[in-house]
Amino acid sequence: MKNLQGVYTALVTPYRNGGVDYEALNNIIELQIKGKVAGIVPVGTTGESPTLSCEEHLKVIEFTVEKVAKRCTVIAGTGANSTAEAIELTVEARKLGADATLQVTPYYNKPTEEGQYRHFMSVAEKGELPVVLYNVPGRAGVPISEKNIARMSSNPLIVAVKEAGGNVERVSKILDMCDITILSGDDALTLPMMSVGAKGIISVASNLIPGEMTEMVESFLNGDLNKAMELHKKYYCFFRDQFIETNPIPIKAAMAMAGLIEESYRLPLCELTAEHREQLKKSLVRCGILK
């Protein structure tokens, strides 16, 4: 599990009539497999995990594991701002067959560095799944410091970091202090982060364009920088506008425009404004995703 690289899709959770749309979820999973992604990440932030019940959360993981059927890696989102809850979800995800867990920084309660360390160590040791740390200070309120990542990297169950703080230099800082796999958490920063040592991306865009994201990342890994840059430039406007409002609102709108899902959210998330919808649609047309 130390050699994670490539594209890992942070799956949306499609809804219909108020519940999870498992038919659409199955179709999205098959699209990912066809696009040759390295892995799938169900019920992370993009999967609207805060608005899923515990029962729904585990059922989505179970469904994903069953449908993937070992064709790619499944990294289950089982983070929480309660350590006990994160451990419970992680233990259940392991029992359901997940290969690893994505662990977001505990949000809102803003733990100290020592509190973060104890939290992640407890999840790793009691959950008994490889852990991908998720640094996203814009959501969590606090970062995972480079020093803390280096400290935790000595545990063989801490295998990677999803770096979603928007700071490319952090990749260099982390790799200067320890040997851990880093995955970009921002599609637009995939190539910049890979240029200084990241091994791939936990991607939102690949919900819609998995094959294209895989080609971009694989081109870079294989030394074809011109092809990788060509794809980055082609899809940059989509990378940018999929965050025109809070994720996953725009990506679900884009997927609905492409006929993949019903555009449905759970409060407090709601539909795009008319102005932003038009801008997103123009970007999708511009890069060839929509006619």
The span from the CA of 5 to the CA of 181, in Å, is 8
Active site residue 22: no
Angle subtended by helix axes 274-286 and 225-241, to nearest 10:
160
In the chain, where do the E strands start and end?
A: 6-10, 15-16, 19-20, 39-41, 73-77, 100-104, 131-135, 158-163, 181-184, 200-203
For the chain, state the CA radius of gyration: 18
User: 123, 101 in Cβ contact below 8 A?
Assistant: yes
Candidates 67, 162, 199, 252; catalytic one: 162
Q: Is the dihedral of CA 85, 3, 180, 32 positive or negative?
A: negative
Active site residue 199: no
Candidates 117, 134, 235, 265; catalytic one: 134
User: 109, 140 in Cβ contact below 8 A?
Assistant: no
The span from the CA of 69 to the CA of 167, in Å, is 35
Distances (CA, A) of 214 to 31, 186, 205, 218, 250: 12, 15, 11, 6, 21
Q: Which residues are catalytic?
A: 134, 162
